[in-house]
Amino acid sequence: MSGMRWGHRSSDSRRALAITAALAAVATVAWANGAKLVVSWKNPAYSGAQPKRVLVTGMSEDPAIRADFEDDMAAAIAKDGVEVIPGNHILLRPDSPEMDENYLKGQIRDHKIDAVLTTRMIRVDKSQTYISGPSYVVPFTYYNTFWGYYGTVYRQVYTPGYLRHDTTVRIETNFYSTAGESGELIWTGTSETFNPSSAKKMIDGVVKTIAKEFKKKGIL
């Protein structure tokens, strides 16, 4: 009979663990794919005119990801009086780590670009967290007998925890004026995305976050 009772308790414990895991999964999904700004800085010394023709460039070796970001960001920050051009519409960028600075300057000049928004991934952090199984509050007196002790410890041993794997992606976005010779920084921001389920979802989160911040800070 004692064995049957322990088996029943162990089953209850497994169900409790399953519920705990499910709740943790829901919480992870709620955080995933959204981006949050951890850095947002507007240059207080910038005194130039508000840009009217902006180029959006994404720094990624994957042309499809780069184009998706540029198209989505351009659409998100464009507004009346401000034209935003995705980099893939006017820039030829072969698969090479070398940049032709003269070509880029020529395109910016020829298309009358007065500001550039550029984004790159700066870090990917991977971590794992041990999530323990359900714990029990048991009076100290359970040590007094073998059956009390063994029955309690049995439940804990057979209610194992699990490992949760998390990924945090950090993205840097800079906004420069091209009116001067060197390209003055207007604004910089760093965003983090927790457990993105896909590149597209990550892009959506970053785009929405940056567009919201631009509106809030009056960048455009």
For 88-121, how does the pLDDT look when each residue is reduced to its tens digit (9 = 90+)?
999 987 766 677 889 999 999 999 999 999 999 9
Confidence band, pLDDT 50/70/90 cuts, at residue 26:
very low
For residues 37-41, give the mean pLDDT.
93
Do 55 and 120 lie in a common domain? yes
Confidence band, pLDDT 50/70/90 cuts, at residue 136:
low
Q: Is the pLDDT of residue 177 over 90?
A: yes
Question: Quick check: 10 and 155 in contact, CB under 8 A?
Answer: yes
Residue 55: inside a domain, yes or no?
Answer: yes
Do 96 and 142 lie in a common domain? no
For residues 151-155, give the mean pLDDT.
66
Do 87 and 186 lie in a common domain? yes
141: containing domain: 2-27+137-161
Q: Is the pLDDT of residue 203 over 70?
A: yes
Do 9 and 50 lie in a common domain? no
Percent of the chain whose pLDDT exceeds 90? 47
Do 16 and 88 lie in a common domain? no
Do 210 and 151 lie in a common domain? no
Do 7 and 77 lie in a common domain? no
